[in-house]
């Protein structure tokens, strides 16, 4: 399994609510269109301050953590080939211009490690 994460920041002046609305009603459908048949999962995680460690209500440095899972390198390569076509690039870029601060977009592959945690008893 290969996971790609992308950090996305909304366009300056756009409200969080308008950003999420546009992403979930329009932009995600563009992603689904080009990722179908390649990705096994396409998820968006909208960020907000947790208020831990004296960060108060500071806004996070990005608005959404997008995650895309691929079963293997062949599927990822297939998706990249489709995403790099002129048609896909034109459609994606046009909508990104409406939605994102494009200069801040960053993508990474992720190597994950998971801890098995003991069961917590109720009331603790």
Task: Spell out the domain ranges in the chain.
Answer: 2-110
One-character DSSP codes across 52-65: -TT-TTPPPS-SEE
pLDDT at 65 over 80: yes
In this structure, the number of other CB atoms found within 10 A of the CB of residue 95 comes to 17
The CATH number of 2-110 is 3.30.70.100
What pLDDT is stored for residue 49 in this prediction?
72
**Which pTM value belongs to this model?**
0.85
Spatial contact of 21 and 99, defined as CB atoms under 8 Å apart: no
Q: How confident is the model at residue 75 (pLDDT cuts 50, 70, 90)?
A: very high
Q: How confident is the model at residue 57 (pLDDT cuts 50, 70, 90)?
A: low
């Amino acid at each position: 399994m290969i996971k790609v994460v992308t950090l996305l920041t909304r366009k300056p002046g756009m409200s969080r609510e308008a950003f999420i609305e546009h992403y979930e009603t329009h932009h995600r459908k563009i992603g689904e269109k080009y990722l179908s048949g390649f990705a096994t999962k396409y998820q968006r995680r909208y960020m907000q301050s947790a208020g831990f460690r004296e960060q108060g209500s500071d806004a996070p440095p990005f608005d959404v953590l997008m995650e895309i899972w691929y079963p293997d390198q062949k599927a990822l390569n297939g998706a990249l080939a489709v995403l790099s076509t002129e048609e896909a690039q034109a459609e994606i870029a046009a909508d990104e211009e409406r939605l994102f601060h494009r200069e801040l977009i960053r993508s990474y592959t992720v190597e994950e490690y998971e801890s098995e945690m003991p069961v917590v008893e109720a009331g603790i």
